[in-house]
Structure 1
Amino acid sequence: MTGTAIDFCHVSFAYANGAAGLRDTTIAFDAGQVIVLCGASGCGKTTMTRLINALAPQYFPGILHGNVTVAGVDTRTTDIATLAEHVGSVFQNPDSQFFTMNVRDELAFACENLAMPPDLIRERVESTARAYALTDLLDRPLADMSGGQRQRVACAAISVARPPIVVLDEPTSNLDATSINALRGIVARWKREGRTVVIAEHRLSWLDGLVDTALILDGGRVVRRFTGQQWRNLSDSERLHLDLRPVTVQQLRSIRVSRHPHTPTHQADGNSSPAYHVNGFRYRYRHTRHDTLDISDMTIPCGAVTTVIGLNGAGKSTFARCLQGLDRRCRGTLIAPDGARLQARQRLDACTTVLQDVNRELFTESVLAEVMLSQPCENERAALDILDSLGLRQLADRHPMSLSGGQKQRVAIAAAIASQRPIIIVDEPTSGLDLRHMREVSSLIRGLAERGRTIVAVTHDPEFALEVSDYVAQLVDGRLADWYPVTTPGGTAKLLDALVPDCDSPLSHAGDQSPSQRDAGQ
């Protein structure tokens, strides 16, 4: 594919529910470019991707003015099924785009929809599986795969039909460093193959060296455009002025903890600072032979933030569920500072959790009602104050499911704060958040800890971890591999080594094959 791949001509779009979209945008992209879309949550990034793949207005209703042309096709007059031959989409949550039960069937699905001959489908599935290192996983149930593996399957599933344009919306928000490296390799592969790749993203450093064009959106408009070289040469001061996360790995690794070390609060009897103690947590999933989680002892200091890190599948989310007492099959207890042994039922009363997939915990008809639902006693003024602290006051009357991913995340955090429980567990709380809102959430979490709340934060986000962590607990294969205060000598470097993708490592080229394999996969 050569020439112009995507063309917006005076495009404006407003959602039927009143949400802002895009305003009078005229811009074109040459084929074969990697384009990154940046900006605050709700700025129009996701809307732009939806206009490229025609989900707006064909799935997300609204009023469209102007013309969007993709691979020479007018999206206004082309149905989504036909446009799928030209555009493949990878969403923030890959589970939302799976239609089958295992990898082989998922790879075949797109080809079957395009009515390809069975022999060609089998050849495409096999060659794509080789290209994306999925051959050994072809018969694996999707439900049994890690988040990084599912993201890789989602990329392969849209690649098998070989669309010339690929759109990704926040693809790294729930991935660990190893999985991000693998995704970087996939994007690099698409670029070598001459595909046009459009990525709406807040976490930017993993794209270091791949970006051809970067756009910053604000209020539904493109306000800045950078070439790849200009983008890579952005100074820290200019980047921060634009409210952007680090755009290179070097910028990311230069971040340091600026606050003072956590000072323990000593008890009246002079003993060591109060803390909760995990005692003998063990958990095994059904039909497995080995414990998924096995933590004999772990300290969670009161009035501090303990960050739990580890690769996808290390047991972080399982630990969070066990800590709150959501699964009675978890053995072990949580010993409170006063010596009380909290079993699962007691832990339910002591903990509240913000889930990784916030769509599972939004129940009401408005943002304000969602926060008030969590309060022990409903107090509208207090609920509005919490919304105001998270920049959500103006959305108080909106339906939670009409918000952007980052806005939903903040609503869920607001509800957790309103619950007034002593332990707050946050599972990937900055998923989908821009720099400003990530820092607002970090500041709020720090403030809660300083006022005596105990925070356990599960995260892959290095910037967030550096902003909030007092202590770090690293899990490997369900075991506690390391525990340390982040402000001790070497603590910051250890945290960054665990969380920052090494874009110069061989993993950054995951998916690369021998020349013969590359030819087979093209």
Structure 2
Amino acid sequence: MIQFENVSFAYAGQTSGNLRELNLTIENGECVLFCGRSGCGKTTVTRLVNGLIPYFFAGKLSGRVVVNGLDIARTPMYQIAGKVGSVFQNPRTQFFNVDTDSEIAFGIENEALPTEELHRRVKGTAEDLRISQLLGRNIFELSGGEKQKIAFASVYAMNPQVYLLDEPSSNLDMKAIRELKDHLQLIKSQGKTVLIAEHRLHYLMDLADRIVYLEEGRVAGIYTPSQLAALPDDARSLMGLRAVDLNRVHPVEKRTLTGSPVLTLQNVDLRYKKHTILENISLQAAGGEIIGVAGHNGAGKTTFSRALCGLHKDCGGSFFWKGKETQPKARRKSAYMVMQDVNYQLFAESVAKECAFGIKNPDHSLIERTLTELGLQGLKERHPNTLSGGQKQRVAVAVSMVCGKEVLVFDEPTSGLDYDSMAQVAELLKKLAQQGKIIFVVTHDVELIGQACSRVLHFDAKGVPQDLAVTRDNEAGLRALFGMAQPQIANKH
């Protein structure tokens, strides 16, 4: 179905290649997982298959990519679109409509199908993917996970031969990941060819036929899932790979906090367009805490985060800082938020300038140290929009470190990050906590929570039914919170 014949590619303005001498054949109906560190070339592989390279992303391309007999570099884009469907890491970048029905129908509408067939395809797609409840909705009111489902549905409706998915699970909770896996199993059972560029490996280990490990643009290894799972955990970590089995991820025991609470929420209610999102939220936090905020997509985690930072004003109850009640304006001065869609907050023309953007008298030595700690030193002159998704996230994390706020809120900070980068973020969160900052981390990342968080707030049914310390003693509760099966055999990690 797909052949890469000695393919090399370097994006315009870059001296080193992003992909080097790739030779690979993918059979019809095969599911192939591409993995490796951020920037290793995974996304570039998908862009070569769907024609974004060379038609959208300029650069130096050599070799040949053939999909079902079509030479991609010599095939019109509309022909490629009929054969290859793509689901991007950020679904928002591929939407063309404001309602879900029109978005699902967009691709097939451009094929000039009759109106009756359009309606039949949209209804059939919703039924096959079990998303009928999302029909007739405003796209801008969907959660991140719901947007991802609509993006997948818009591709499914076109019935392509090849599916490409770039970090499809990066912003999904465990339930949504299981639903994504069901969708992937469905298209695989239909004989479709599936290419997935992904850091989260655990949900694909019984789905992928082959796993291609890339390192600096080259194929450094090809494994079956059982071969990759057989590697020692330490060996996979050194390869920059995430866990293949979440039951082998255990909380790292952390120091006990003894400081007095400095942040208090009393009976806080949060509303959006007159609808109650969360109600009667009461909690306390001390300096140095790293607090995970978990819950299903759409549970109100991001709304809660925005309220902490004074960005969401439709709320009742009281916020106290060191015993003094604070209003939204004061909270905006003392808190900083790294947004889930990091593209909303990247403005400058280089990574270094981004870290100083909007800050009076920035500490350039701190910026240099932070870029070094985050592995961004070599990218400091690059434009943020030329970075991979994981690299953009690290830039936003770097900005948060140099702004000197007391409360730092991270919305999915490890979205799209490899193991190395996730571990670096965990260490940096702990360093910030050691400075007395209060850190909230909205995340579905079990590995990050185990490495960095001291406790987890679980949002559900408009409230916080659970506030769990992240300890070995609470492992059963934490696994239940994330909908994970209990391990049959105890593993040490």
Tell me the TM-score normalised to structure 1 length: 0.90
1:258 aligns with 2:252: yes
Specify the code of the residue in structure 1 equivalent to 2:393.
Q
- CA drift of 1:503 comes to 12
1:48 aligns with 2:45: yes
2:480 is aligned with 1:497: yes
Deviation at 1:171, TM superposition (A): 0.5
Counterpart secondary structure, 1:35: strand
Is the CA contact (8 Å cut-off) linking 1:181 and 1:502 kept in structure 2? no
> Of 310, 316, 328, which aligns to 2:313?
328
Local SS of the residue matching 2:356: helix
Distance 2:300 2:133 in 1: 23
Partner of 2:196: 199
Describe the shift of the 1:399–1:283 C-alpha distance in structure 2 as closer, same or farther (beyond 3 A). same
> 2:338 pairs with 335, 354, 368, which one?
354
Distance of 1:439 and 1:282 partners within structure 2: 34
Partner residue in 2 for 1:517? none
Which residue is 2:10 aligned to? 14
Task: Give, in whole Å, the separation in 1 of the partners of 2:253 and 2:468.
Answer: 16
- 1:203 deviates by 0.7
One-letter amino acid of the counterpart of residue 397, structure 2: I
Contact 1:13 1:65 in 2 (8 A): yes
Q: CA deviation at 1:302?
A: 1.3
List per-residue Cα deviations over 1:186-218 (Å, max 9, x = no partner): 000111111011010001101120010101111
Deviation for aligned residue 1:149: 2.2
Residue 309 in 1 paired to residue 305 in 2?
Answer: no
After superposition, the C-alpha distances for 1:127-183 in whole angstroms (9 at most, x for unaligned) are 222111133432222223232222122111101111110000001110111110000
Structure 1 counterpart of 2:400, one-letter code: A
Q: Does 1:452 align with 2:449?
A: no
Deviates more, 1:42-51 or 1:297-306: 297-306
* Matched residue type, 2:291: T
Provide the C-alpha distance between the structure 1 equivalents of 2:486 and 2:33, rounded to a whole number of angstroms.
Answer: 17
Deviation at 1:309, TM superposition (A): 0.6
The aligned runs of 1:169-248 (5 Å cut-off) are: 169-247=166-244
Question: How far apart are residue 253 of structure 1 and its match?
Answer: 1.3
The CA deviation at 1:293 is 1.9
How high is the sequence identity, in percent, across the aligned residues? 38
**Cα distance change of structure 1 residues 20 and 452 upon mapping to structure 2, 3 Å threshold:** farther
Structure 1 counterpart SS, 2:458 = strand
- Please identify, of 202-211 and 221-230, the stretch whose mean Cα deviation from structure 2 is larger: 221-230
1:515 aligns with none
Deviates more, 1:421-430 or 1:298-307: 298-307
State the alpha-carbon separation in 1 of the partners of residues 223 and 310 from structure 2. 49
Is contact 2:167-2:197 (8 Å) kept?
Answer: yes
State the match for 2:356 in structure 1. 372
Residues 485 and 376 from structure 1, CA distance in 2 versus in 1: closer, same or farther, beyond 3 angstroms?
A: farther
CA shift digits 1:388-443 (9 cap, x unpaired): 11111111111111111111101101101100111111110000100001000100
| Residue pair 1:88, 1:158 contacting (<8 A) in 2 also | yes
Q: State yes or no: 1:294 paired with 2:279.
A: yes
Structure 1 CA distance for aligned equivalents of residues 134 and 332 of structure 2: 37
Paired positions, count: 486
Which structure 2 residues correspond to residues 415-494 of structure 1 after superposition, within 5 A? 415-487=399-471, 489-490=473-474, 492-494=475-477
Bigger shift: 220-229 or 13-22? 13-22
Q: CA deviation at 1:80?
A: 2.0
Q: Provide the C-alpha distance between the structure 2 equivalents of 1:198 and 1:259, rounded to a whole number of angstroms.
A: 38
Distance 1:466 1:49, change over 3 A: same
Secondary structure in structure 2 of the residue aligned to 1:105: helix
Is 1:138 the counterpart of 2:138 in the alignment? no
- For structure 1, the residue ranges without an aligned partner over 5 or more in a row are 266-272, 505-522
**SS of aligned partner of 1:326:** coil
- Alignment of 1:31 onto 2:15: no
Q: CA deviation at 1:57?
A: 1.6
Query: What is residue 410 of structure 1 aligned with on the other side?
Result: 394
Contact 2:257/2:288 (8 A) holds in 1: no
What is the rounded CA distance, in whole Å, between the counterparts of 1:388 and 1:454 in structure 2? 23
- Which residue is equivalent to 1:279? 266
Deviations 1:321-379, CA, capped at 9 Å, x for gaps: 00000122223332122x12111111111101111111001111111111122544222
User: Structure 1 CA distance, aligned partners of 2:483 and 2:56?
Assistant: 36
Is the CA contact (8 Å cut-off) linking 2:145 and 2:176 kept in structure 1? yes
CA deviations 1:243-294 (Å, max 9, x no partner) are: 21112xxx311221233343323xxxxxxx23311123222111x4x41121
Paired residue type of 2:170: S
Q: Distance in 1 between matches of 2:295 and 2:285?
A: 17
Q: Secondary structure at the match of 1:84?
A: helix
CA drift at 1:228: 3.5
* Structure 2 counterpart SS, 1:284: strand
- The whole-number CA distance in structure 1 between the counterparts of 2:404 and 2:117 is 58
Match of residue 380, structure 2, among 375, 380, 396: 396
User: What secondary structure does 1:332 align onto?
Assistant: strand
- 2 CA distance for matches of 1:222 and 1:488? 38
Alignment partners' CA distance in 1, 2:446 and 2:371? 26
1:108 paired with 2:124, answer no
Asked whether the equivalents of residues 181 and 501 of structure 1 are also in contact (C-alpha less than 8 Å), the reply is no
CA distance in 2, matches of 1:501, 1:258: 18
1:99 aligns with one of 77, 96, 101:
96
Aligned AA (1:498) = L
- 2:64 maps to 67
Structure 2: distance between partners of 1:424 and 1:399:
25
Summarize the Cα distance change of 1:295–1:81 in structure 2 as closer, same or farther, 3 Å threshold: farther
In the aligned structure 2, how far is the partner of 1:66 from the partner of 1:382? Answer: 44
Question: 1:299: Cα distance to partner?
Answer: 1.3
- Asked if the contact 1:180–1:206 (Cα under 8 Å) also holds between the matched residues in 2, the reply is yes
Q: Residues 243 and 249 of structure 2 are in contact (CA less than 8 Å); yes or no, is this contact kept in structure 1? A: no
In structure 2, relative to structure 1, the CA distance for the partners of 1:166 and 1:60 (3 Å cut) is: same
